[in-house]
Structure 1
Amino acid sequence: MMKFASFIVELFRLCILLVLTLFILGGAERFVYQSIFGQPVYNWSMAFGNVLIFFMLYRNHFQFKGWYKSEKNVKLTLLTTRIITVISLGLILLPIGLS
């Protein structure tokens, strides 16, 4: 029962971290794009890129700082981390190419 309770608390923590991360990254991107182009730019690809960044951060850092402990918690490989980083940055920069 204790393992299930820690899982529920960790799931709630994950949702809060996701919302905060998307809010912070989205706000920073809007500010940068507004500074460069004079108008805020936001596209679905930027949101998907931010979700990928959150996934990478969670799997490599946040899951080890939470309440739910498991033997299955492992970091992403270096190659996977690099691939996710390149894809997410490409998705974030995609609206520049579409403009």
Structure 2
Amino acid sequence: MPKWGSFVLEMIRLVILLILSLLVLGGIERAVYEAVFGNPVYHWTMTAGNLLLFLVLYRNYFQFKGWFKSEHNKKLNKITTRGLVTVSAVLLLLPIWL
């Protein structure tokens, strides 16, 4: 398969993974917030936090399992990974105080 064909397949895979992960994570968060606070809480910061989590998951795991192989594929370093996960956790917990 040509390089551009595998790239297109990888982009389709990325979009599908993004949609599925946002739906799953959003559903879990809604259920947890509803169980804790009695009503479903959802804020734009939670979507941003989920996007950051997806970025970390994709860069550290999913990009190596796909069709597009490149010498430019590298994992995020530990400091960047920890920083993004911390910012994501803060964004996910921020609606509690808003």
Q: Is the TM-score greater than 0.5?
A: yes
1: CA distance between counterparts of 2:67 and 2:10? 6
Q: Tell me which residue corresponds to 1:29.
A: 29
Shift of 1:30: 0.0
What is the alpha-carbon root mean square deviation over aligned residues? 0.7
Tell me how far 1:49 sits from its aligned partner: 0.2
Offset, 1:36:
0.4
Per the TM alignment, residue 73 of structure 1 is displaced from its structure 2 partner at its CA by: 0.1
The residue aligned with 1:12 is: 12
Percent identity of equivalent pairs: 57
Question: For residue 70 of structure 2, what is the aligned residue in structure 1?
Answer: 70
Unaligned runs of 5+ in 1: none
Q: TM-score, normalised by structure 2?
A: 0.99
- Counterpart of 2:95, as a letter, is P
Q: TM-score, normalising length from structure 1? A: 0.98
Gaps of 5+ in 2: none
The one-letter amino acid paired with 1:21 is S
Shift of 1:68: 0.1
- Compute the displacement of 1:29 (Å): 0.1
Distance 2:85 2:49 in 1: 9
Most deviating of 1-10 and 33-42: 1-10
Give the number of aligned pairs. 98
Kindly state the Cα deviation for residue 97 of structure 1 after the two structures are TM-superposed.
1.2
Runs of 4+ in 1 over 4 A off after TM superposition: none
User: What SS does the aligned partner of 1:8 have?
Assistant: helix
Match of 2:45 in 1: 45
Cα offsets for 1:15-40 (capped at 9, x unmatched): 00000000000000000000000000
